[in-house]
Amino acid sequence: MILLVEDDPDHEALAIRALRKANVANEIQVAHDGAEALEYLKKAASGAKMLPQLILLDLKLPKVDGLEVLRNIRAADKTALLPVVVLTSSDEEKDIVSSYRLGVNSYIRKPVNFTDFAEATRQLGMYWLLLNQCPPLQ
């Protein structure tokens, strides 16, 4: 299961399309802002929902921003080890540095060119869902 945290519905549709195109068959759960993402993860931690295998996180989000979501993920025992990939338009150095300081697993800047984005999404799915050995879920 993949948790996609994305507020722009266009980008949500395009991301899902790119993942499907890349043959990623996993269920995709979408959170439309930071608060929703935290709400979902809280439920998942208590066992009411499924814990995601991968979190794709935008940084610029309404209500609670991406960095704050990341901080909460890393602070909670149940979600501390989840692989989180930041997917954002920003290539500001402070965003990159803050994300890595908070323990992000990967930082990818969304290219304008969608062909490149599709390729990046394909590689992401391949790497994090197939190649990479994730820590066991608690």
Beta-strand relationship, 28-31 and 106-109: unpaired
Angle, helix 66-75 to helix 34-46, in steps of 10 degrees = 20
Distance CA(1)–CA(14), nearest Å, equals 18
90 binds another protein (CB under 8 A): yes
56 binds another protein (CB under 8 A): no
| Cβ nearer to another protein, comparing 27 with 92 | 92
Angle, helix 66-75 to helix 93-101, in steps of 10 degrees = 10
Distance CA(64)–CA(62), nearest Å, equals 6
Residue from the set 26, 91, 100, 134 that interacts with another protein by CB under 8 A: 91
Site for another protein in 16-45 (CB under 8 A): 17, 21
| Cβ nearer to another protein, comparing 21 with 101 | 21
122 binds another protein (CB under 8 A): no
Q: Is 47 left (phi over 0), alpha (psi -120 to 50) or beta?
A: left
113 binds another protein (CB under 8 A): yes
10 binds another protein (CB under 8 A): yes
Residue ranges in contact with another protein by CB under 8 A = 8, 10-11, 14, 17, 21, 60, 88-92, 110-115, 117-118
